Amino acid sequence: MGRVSLEGIEFHAYHGVFSEEKKLGNRFTVDMHVDTDFKKAMVDDDLESTVDYFKLYTIAKAHMQEPVKLLEHLGHLMLLDILKHYPDVKHIEIIIKKHNPALGGVVNYSVVKVAYPQDYE
């Protein structure tokens, strides 16, 4: 068992409930962790035997470009897309941070974490 991760992927996107979030956008950071069996990739040096982190980046980027209201929903969509491409993975964790959320005070970021399988049992 092993883990393929991307951490600190940054985007400017337009997710949120409030009209100013949809108009001005915000800075977001995404972390993706995928646990899978990549013993064959370790031995054979074959990308097809593991989770391709370029594909993970492509999934994150595609979903960050499609505005949604809730980060929970955004994480769910990313997770489903990863499962579509890699149905045999054992665990997925998506962490999405919205920097400086418009809450009327100083807040570094809000955070949502979505995980498979625990959020889907």
Residue 49 DSSP SS3 = helix
Check 23, 61, 97, 98 and give the catalytic one: 98
Residue 46 DSSP SS3 = coil
Element (H, E) at 81: helix 71-85
Is residue 113 annotated as a catalytic residue, yes or no? Answer: no
Q: How many residues does the chain have?
A: 121
Residues marked active site are found at 98
